[in-house]
Structure 1
Amino acid sequence: MKNLRFSTIAICTVLVFSACGQKKQIAAVTEAASVVEPAVKPLVRLAKVVEEPVPQKQVYSASIESEVKNNIAPSIPARISNILVEVGDNVRTGQILVTMDATTLTQQEMQLQNLETEFHRIDELYKVGGVSKSDWENFNMQLEVARKSYLTLRENTILQSPIDGVVTNRNYDNGDLYSGQPILVVQKIVPVKLIVNVSEKYYSQVSIGDEVSVALDAYPGETFTGKVSLIYPTVDAMTHTFPVEIGVANTSRKLRPGMFARATLNFGTENRVVVPDLAIEKRAGSGDRFVYIYEDGKVSYRKVELGQRLGDRYELISGVPNGAQIVIAGQSKLSDGVEVEVGN
């Protein structure tokens, strides 16, 4: 009986000490949990930005056009007798390009010769009083009408080139009946031109004679010099742009109508903030560009408007003040208002 009591007392003692040990362990864990380690600040690199003179160049896309384009065709339907040139031929002003069927012209020429003979007879009679003045005037008028009709018909039978140029299109063969489409197309390619649409904000900065640099995909690495030859006097109300015509001498004849070209216009220089391209971030879902500005240990989000790309830098139109410090590395862990640590 005494042994039983002793065993019971021993077990109880063990349980008491065990419970006390568990309480001490729980208290130690609770105390450790209450100690919060300080958050690690994102590490960033900074760069100071400053204003500098930036050439205000704008690049415009356009297609090369001929200085003059002429459709060679008669004004009346007729059968084509002979086409004397081919596509690619160079032609001169006044050169005969096409002859039409001359049957009607021959008939009209004979009628004109008869009228001229008859008028000569009537003129002699008029001089001696054999014909009244009114009859002489009426016949003279008929002769003038016949001459003009003959000349018009001749112009529509013997088709000449009105310009120095090159034949760029042929739509008929000998013997075809002309049906409205031009027989030939002749274009003047010395010089050539291109027309670009310029933002209205530059209207006062464009002048006749301004030099323009022209580049073409057909001649990589080569540039051609053009000049502003015409400034249109009105601005499109929908696009707020105005057309500018640029002439290029093209003495080498390398530039051909239809070629894709890029014209660079220089509008002087302006002081702009320039930032490294590493600083520019794109906002997901909106396409906005932004940078992080550092101030008093924190970074703040700033939306920016980009200008030209200048090698590994960007011109900023707006968004960042002169002299600001911006983040150029470590942006992935940043958000607006976050405290950061600056590294080298």
Structure 2
Amino acid sequence: MNKVKSFLLILLSVVIVTSCGKKENNNQTKTDEAIPVEVTLVKKSMIDREIELVGNLMAWKEANLAAQTTARVQKIYVDAGSRVKQGDLLFEMDDTQLAQAKIQYQVTKDNYDRLKPLYETGSISQSQFDQVKAAYETAEKTYQLLLTNTQFRAPFSGVVTAKRLNDGEVFLLAPGGVGSPTIVTLMQINPLKLILNVSENNLKDVKLNQTVEIKSDIFPEETFKGNISRINPAVNPTSRTFEVEVKIPNPNEKLKPGMYVRAKILIGKSEGIIVNRSAALKQLGSTAYYGFIVKDNIAKRVELTLGKEFDSLVEITSGLNEGDYLVTRGQGLLKDGSKIDIKAKAE
């Protein structure tokens, strides 16, 4: 009986060892099998380079017009939304003082005109003429000052964006809730202005008159263009950026001051490597990317650094060299050192 048990134990051991050997052989066979993949030849191509920034549109010019002294508003000739040309009369203040100054100015001018010929013929002395001339010049300056502080004209062509008083109201020369006191606000909105903050690293690529493309969510299908008109040479000590001003033609006045826009400063072209976005695999639990290239039908894992994205394509700034064969399909089954079977090759 003991001999039988011993025989059965030996037989069972042989079966187990044989079975394990077969499994190991099967696993080894699977490991040695080549994994089918598709590859593409890595090439360099020209890439448009730009600096992407955001900002808010501003009026090219803005003027908050008001009197220099407290006075009554006599007449306002415009309203919010009115379009005016340079030199158009916008509003008038009480002209009582202006009328008095005009009379004084006219009297002194008449005296000056009457005595000037007498002075030239020697009929009156130099001191007499100097007194008349001084009185005339003083009255003229007073009249002109009151005239400009009574009749307010548009300093440039544009659109009235605010009217803060009505006819007959008293303008008080005192700070209000929002900045300095204002009767009428005028803006020039063609062209518009966009202020961008460019980093120290990108400033070397920014030049005057460079083209800037502007996109607004309000007009998603349209691209507006402008040009860099000014570069502030001093760095902002807080943000470490440089202020760059963009001048944007706005003939149809579609764009409005205050709109949020995205801008691209076009800085030229340079060579780079662009591949299918799916060829770059993201490493789990990190922001790192990797891919596989082919060396003698063996997969070699390489770490990838991504650059500019183009929908289904992406630029690789490091990790690939021109002439490499990059796995573009089947890479999810690979590991470093896997044998591969190239089923398709794109040149």
Q: Please show how residues 12-31 of structure 1 align to structure 2 within 5 Å.
A: 14-31=1-18
3-state SS of 2:140 partner: helix
Question: Equivalent residue for 1:341?
Answer: 340
Task: Output the CA distance in 1 between the equivalents of 2:80 and 2:204.
Answer: 43
Residue 65 of structure 2 is aligned to residue 72 of structure 1: yes
TM-aligned CA deviation for residue 236 of structure 1:
5.5
Question: Equivalent residue for 1:319?
Answer: 319
Task: Output the CA distance in 2 between the equivalents of 1:121 and 1:228.
Answer: 58
TM-aligned CA deviation for residue 243 of structure 1:
4.1
Q: Is the 8 A contact 1:304 1:320 kept in 2?
A: no
TM-score by length of 2: 0.78
Task: Output the CA distance in 1 between the equivalents of 2:276 and 2:250.
Answer: 39
Task: Output the CA distance in 2 between the equivalents of 1:271 and 1:53.
Answer: 5
Structure 1 residue corresponding to 2:86, chosen from 87, 93, 96:
93
Q: Is the 8 A contact 1:293 1:299 kept in 2?
A: yes
Question: Equivalent residue for 1:4?
Answer: none
Task: Output the CA distance in 2 between the equivalents of 1:238 and 1:319.
Answer: 36
Q: 1:54 to 1:125 in 2, by over 3 A?
A: closer
3-state SS of 1:146 partner: helix
Mark the structure with the bigger radius of gyration.
1
Q: Which amino acid aligns with 1:219?
A: F
Q: Higher strand share goes to which structure? A: 2
Question: Equivalent residue for 1:3?
Answer: none
Structure 2 residue corresponding to 1:83, chosen from 73, 76, 79:
76
Q: Is the 8 A contact 1:227 1:247 kept in 2?
A: yes
Structure 2 residue corresponding to 1:169, chosen from 136, 139, 162:
162
Q: Mean alpha-carbon deviation: is it higher for 109-118 or for 57-66?
A: 109-118
In structure 1, the gaps of 5 or more residues are: 1-13
Question: Equivalent residue for 1:306?
Answer: 307
Question: Equivalent residue for 2:275?
Answer: 275
Task: Output the CA distance in 2 between the equivalents of 1:281 and 1:97.
Answer: 65
TM-aligned CA deviation for residue 159 of structure 1:
1.0
Q: 1:288 to 1:83 in 2, by over 3 A?
A: farther
TM-aligned CA deviation for residue 208 of structure 1:
4.3
Q: Is the 8 A contact 2:302 2:319 kept in 1?
A: no
TM-aligned CA deviation for residue 141 of structure 1:
2.6
Q: Is the 8 A contact 2:214 2:226 kept in 1?
A: yes
Q: Is the 8 A contact 1:66 1:187 kept in 2?
A: yes
Task: Output the CA distance in 1 between the equivalents of 2:156 and 2:294.
Answer: 66
Deviations 1:162-198 (A, max 9, x none): 1111112222333142443222221122222333344
Residue 106 of structure 2 is aligned to residue 106 of structure 1: no
Question: Equivalent residue for 1:154?
Answer: 147
Deviations 1:306-340 (A, max 9, x none): 12x234211223331112223334454555x3524
Q: Alignment length, in residue pairs?
A: 329
Q: Mean alpha-carbon deviation: is it higher for 25-34 or for 143-152?
A: 25-34
TM-aligned CA deviation for residue 64 of structure 1:
2.8
TM-score by length of 1: 0.79
Deviations 1:269-304 (A, max 9, x none): 222111111012333444233333343413323131
Task: Output the CA distance in 1 between the equivalents of 2:158 and 2:79.
Answer: 13
Q: Is the 8 A contact 2:208 2:230 kept in 1?
A: yes
Q: Please show how residues 42-61 of structure 1 align to structure 2 within 5 Å.
A: 43=35, 45=37, 46-61=39-54
Deviations 1:206-240 (A, max 9, x none): 55444444333332322334334334445657766
Q: 1:200 to 1:260 in 2, by over 3 A?
A: same
Q: Is the 8 A contact 2:198 2:242 kept in 1?
A: yes
Q: Is the 8 A contact 1:198 1:242 kept in 2?
A: yes
Deviations 1:10-66 (A, max 9, x none): xxxx23312321232134324533562435449463333211122224444333332
In structure 2, the gaps of 5 or more residues are: 175-179
Task: Output the CA distance in 2 between the equivalents of 1:191 and 1:246.
Answer: 10
